[in-house]
Amino acid sequence: MGDVLIKVRGLKNQFGPNVIHEGLDLDIHRGEVLGIVGGSGTGKSVLLRSIVGLQKPVAGSITVFGVDLRTAPRAEMARVENRWGVMFQDGALFSSLTVRENVEAPMRERTGLDAETRRALADLKIAMVGLPPKARTLYPSELSGGMRKRAGLARALALDPEILFLDEPTAGLDPIGASDFDVLIRNLQQSLGLTVFLVTHDLDTLHATCDRIAVLAERKVLVTGTIRELMRVDHPWVRSYFHGPRAHAAMLAAEG
Q: Return d(Cα 129, Cα 95) in angstroms, integer.
A: 19
Domain boundaries, the chain: 1-83+162-225, 95-160
Residue numbers of the chain with a pLDDT score lower than 50 = none
Q: What DSSP assignment string belongs to 79-107?
A: HHHTTEEEE-GGG---TTS-HHHHHHHHH
Using one digit for the tens of pLDDT, what is the confidence trace for 219-253? 999 999 999 999 999 999 999 998 876 665 666 56
Q: Can you list the alpha helix ranges (DSSP code H) found in the chain?
A: 44-51, 74-81, 99-110, 115-128, 145-156, 175-192, 203-209, 227-230, 236-243, 245-255
- Closest to 189 (Cα-Cα) out of 148, 149, 136, 129: 129
Q: Return the bridge partners of 167, or none.
A: 199
Question: 207 near 251, Cβ under 8 Å?
Answer: yes
Statement: the pTM of the whole predicted model exceeds 0.85? yes
CATH architecture of 1-83+162-225: 3-Layer(aba) Sandwich (3.40)
Q: Return d(Cα 250, Cα 236) in angstroms, integer.
A: 20
**Given this model, what pLDDT does residue 92 score?**
80
